[in-house]
Copies of this chain bind each other. A is one copy, B any other.
């Protein structure tokens, strides 16, 4: 499977994705699922992809082709992130339709995307684009979006990601979310890509490619495990463990 996520905080946008692809239980390979598009000083967009690899590659190729051939509509001349999401949705549906027209086996060609970025002076935005070609923007209370194997990594995002969180803290949180997912699902794998976009910078932002043996990434995983054990120690004890302690005693 895939695991990708974005977080939208006051300081900017976080993009994080894994790189493992598989066909069934083997045929494992490495493909980037992070596709940035940047025109410094004008706009920055980044597409994260999940689903049928032929579809996702087809969509990205079409977007690049529209730019190269200066088509009537492409990422450089769209006026807003919402229009960009609509454009990607249209291409997504079309590529799937084309593949289905060739197919004789009722195959699932679906792909889902997250498109995030900033165009000019508009507020940064992130959108989830569905196989059906429609799309939603992120929640203002829980300003994150996820693709693929989302459940293992969701609780930490639910508890932590808020608009007021610092950009770097949100990035660490994304790496923890990815780490928890990779520990629990072997079809999500390294390298992990991380991109940090600062609001109004209209630049490509910081980019990290973290291989399996990357010292920083391993340090994140180890320190997080240690932090969890400390958090567990700090939990209230049961009444019978400390007979004199009355705070937080369970109603047994």
Residues of A within 8 A of B (CB): 151-156, 158-160, 168-169, 171-173, 176, 180-181, 183-184, 206, 208, 210-211, 214-217, 219-220, 223-238, 240-241, 247-252
Contact = CB atoms under 8 A, between A and B. Distances in A.
A219 B238 contact: no
B155 A184 contact: yes
Contacts of A173: 232
Given A155-B180, A168-B241, A235-B224, A216 B250 contact: yes
B231 A224 contact: yes
6 contacts: A156-B228, A159-B228, A169-B233, A176-B232, A223-B248, A228-B231
Which secondary structure characterizes the binding site on chain A? helix
A38 to B, nearest CB: 18
B250 A236 contact: no
In the complex this chain forms, how many copies of it are found?
2
A211 B252 CA distance: 11
Contacts of A250: 208, 210, 214-217
Contact of A232 (B152, B169, B217, B238): B169
Contacts of A219: 236, 247-248
Given A155-B180, A228-B231, A230-B231, A216 B251 contact: yes
Nearest to A252: B208
Given A152-B152, A168-B241, A232-B176, A184 B208 contact: no
A216 B241 CA distance: 14
Contacts of A171: 238
Contact of A235 (B172, B214, B240): B172
Contacts of A223: 231, 234-236, 248
